[in-house]
Amino acid sequence: MNRVGDKLMRAMCERSRAVAVAMFARTWGDRRLTHVLANVATSLASAVALIAAALPLSAAEPAKTSEIRDVILMLEKGPLHLRVHVAVGGQSPQDARRASLDRLLKTLDADGDGKLSQREAERSPLFREKQRPKAEAFLQEIGASSAFSRRDMEQRFERFGGETVVYRQNASTSESDNTVFKMLDANKDGVVDATEMQDSVDLLLAKDLDDDECVTLDELAPPPIVPANQLAVPTDEPRPPTSTVADLLRDTNQLALADQLLLKYDKDRNRKLSTDELGWSKERLKTCDTDGDGQLNKKELGGLQKSPVDIELAVDVVRKEGQPMLRTLASLGDRTDGDKYPDLATISLPTAVVTFSSREVDPFEASMTIALRTFNELDVDNNGYLDKDETMTRERFGRGLFDQIDADSDGKIFGEEMKEFIRSRGEPVATTCQITVFDDGAGFFSTLDSNSDRRISMREMRYADKTLVKMQRDDKPGLGEFEPARRYRIEFVRGIFNPFGNPDRPANPRMPQAVVETIKPRPVGPIWFQRWDRNNDGDITWREFLGPRDAFEQLDADRDELIDPKEAESAVTAKAETRKPKTETSTNGQSPNAVRGKTENSLEH
């Protein structure tokens, strides 16, 4: 426990001891009995302290200034209460937004008067406003100040940044998951039998269209292809958005929460929810049942945040060195991932399996990638800048976006102007946390993708048959399409600004490849391992290995045909050992460590 926790626990113990002694003393008034009971109370208080010290909450405390959100996950069999402590770089999103504004003000406020003149404000696209001459004259006539006060800047930041926590939903993965099952069910009998489970590796590898030894959801369930005879008209949103405002995930502060709960769970339409409809125990329902009638009406449903928390998490969408981005503070369900992967938690509940993950992304790099790709698409004459004729196909440019980006008003947008605009406008959005819930259906793909990196690696394919067996829930042979528990995935990611398309797209599993390339797994293993692991899946296969076969077999200690980071590290350790003098020699006169050293030298060159 930390110091605050220690003080609090000591205070609780002393208070418990005092209350117990006073209560018994008043009851019996016996001094000797009072002395005995004092010892008992002390023992009980110590036991309470020991139990509290063992709670998981003390081992993983959220950031002190995090923003607490109580969220309801609308599962089929009843609502699930989630509590999330949200932080952006160790601060609450609102504090991170204020800090960002302070940095910008310090940069722009040349005279240090705490506000921005028109000239100072024009240095940032965030405050740049190009008004008509008549409008400027009118403002001067009525005596209105053209300067930006601190309050004006805060309002502008809020307008561009939006809500500090945004909820989104993606149901497209459920449809794609059905395609995965149909692929595994080779004989089309509606069941993945034992033989098909054993053949799953070959079935998955057959879908590896780019031959990178990983299978993505797009490879398993490719998006529809537009026929060549159909004209594709460029628009601001080339594809229908798959990420929408969340229906499955509701903040308890939302006014429509009670109506949504009644709409989903009120089976008898009496405008109240019973224990059966909620899937709750009587004891749990009592926490919100203010009138004591054994049901929750609309008003009582508005206080659902008072109900017991099922899962509590701490999330920071900005990684700190040596610190996880996502931590499970408390859970009524079982952790099935075994705490194997950082920033990932899979919790099995009686009616569903929920996976929580936090994805590290550089919002500015991702936004720049999208913007520069759009720039290159529109620059049809390849002259290095955009004019208004080239941007006519995008409606947003016609709504004043062109003038906002064109800093020098020369009628041309150059790459540097685009970058400056993206960085300035992306700053407020980068202080937000986007929470997206994915309905993965039966979860065939998400279960095989054990580390939730949106692809099935060679290692995951090797264990696919065992993974599929674990998904069975009944005694019937094989795995049916609707047999597994419903799976949901909730992802936390830092906000990304995208002025030229659907702003939700970066949170989708099928995000543009240009954005995917900016979100790479953290490097693991020695340098040579990182270079040879071409698909960044955390393993080196024989195809990726650049050395001789005997060196591969020597490094592959567990003989699984994969070299993992630990095995690679052992090679580095072994090489260090070769520098120590050894007296042991082999039959050919060379020390075993010398032979091993030659092998390791070949790995580095």
pLDDT of residue 93: 95
| Cα gap 505→77, rounded to integer Å | 30
User: Same structural domain for residues 202 and 218?
Assistant: yes
Would you say residue 557 lies in a domain? yes
pLDDT of residue 126: 81
Would you say residue 343 lies in a domain? no
Q: How many CB atoms lie within 10 A of CB 535?
A: 17
- Between residues 459 and 592, the one the model is more confident about: 459
User: Same structural domain for residues 425 and 496?
Assistant: no
CATH number reported for the structural domain that contains residue 390 in this entry: 1.10.238.10
User: Same structural domain for residues 536 and 593?
Assistant: yes
Angle formed at CA 603 by CA 600 and CA 605, multiple of 5 degrees: 120
pLDDT of residue 3: 41
| Cα gap 216→221, rounded to integer Å | 9
Q: Give me the mean pLDDT over the 438-452 stretch.
A: 89
| Cα gap 160→126, rounded to integer Å | 8
User: Same structural domain for residues 441 and 502?
Assistant: yes
Query: Per-residue pLDDT tens for 166-218?
Result: 999 987 777 788 889 999 999 999 999 999 999 999 999 999 998 999 999 88
Would you say residue 572 lies in a domain? yes
Least confident of 128-142, 455-469, 537-551: 128-142
**pLDDT of 294 higher than 70:** yes
Contact 294, 285 (CB under 8 A): yes
Please give the distance of CA 221 from its chain centroid, rounded to a whole number: 23
- Between residues 368 and 86, the one the model is more confident about: 86
Query: Per-residue pLDDT tens for 49-90?
Result: 333 333 343 334 676 678 999 999 999 999 999 999 999 999
| Cα gap 303→257, rounded to integer Å | 10
User: Same structural domain for residues 535 and 600?
Assistant: yes
Would you say residue 275 lies in a domain? no
User: To the nearest whole number, what is the mean pLDDT of the chain?
Assistant: 79
**pLDDT of 11 higher than 50:** no
- Between residues 31 and 81, the one the model is more confident about: 81
User: Same structural domain for residues 538 and 502?
Assistant: no
pLDDT of residue 457: 93
User: Same structural domain for residues 546 and 589?
Assistant: yes
pLDDT of residue 587: 41
Query: Per-residue pLDDT tens for 320-354?
Result: 888 899 999 999 889 888 777 788 999 999 889 99
Supply the pTM of this predicted model: 0.73
Would you say residue 102 lies in a domain? yes
**pLDDT of 462 higher than 50:** yes
**pLDDT of 132 higher than 70:** no
Query: Per-residue pLDDT tens for 576-587?
Result: 666 665 554 444
Q: Give me the mean pLDDT over the 113-142 stretch.
A: 70
Query: Per-residue pLDDT tens for 249-263?
Result: 999 999 999 999 999
Contact 440, 489 (CB under 8 A): yes
Would you say residue 488 lies in a domain? yes
Question: Residue 508's pLDDT band (boundaries 50, 70, 90)?
Answer: very low
pLDDT of residue 529: 92
**pLDDT of 21 higher than 60:** no
Percent of the chain with pLDDT over 70: 72
pLDDT of residue 579: 61
| Cα gap 398→402, rounded to integer Å | 7
Q: Which of 458, 485, 516 is the last residue of a domain?
A: 516
Q: Give me the mean pLDDT over the 386-391 stretch.
A: 87
Which residues span the domain enclosing 411?
A: 368-429
Would you say residue 498 lies in a domain? yes
pLDDT of residue 505: 40
Would you say residue 60 lies in a domain? no
pLDDT of residue 9: 44
Q: Which of 163, 187, 213 is the last residue of a domain?
A: 163
Please give the distance of CA 480 from its chain centroid, rounded to a whole number: 30
Query: Per-residue pLDDT tens for 475-507?
Result: 899 999 989 999 999 999 999 998 775 543 433
Q: Give me the mean pLDDT over the 414-436 stretch.
A: 91
Domain count across the chain:
5
**Distance separating the N- and C-terminal Cα atoms of the chain:** 49
Q: Which of 429, 449, 470 is the last residue of a domain?
A: 429
pLDDT of residue 187: 94
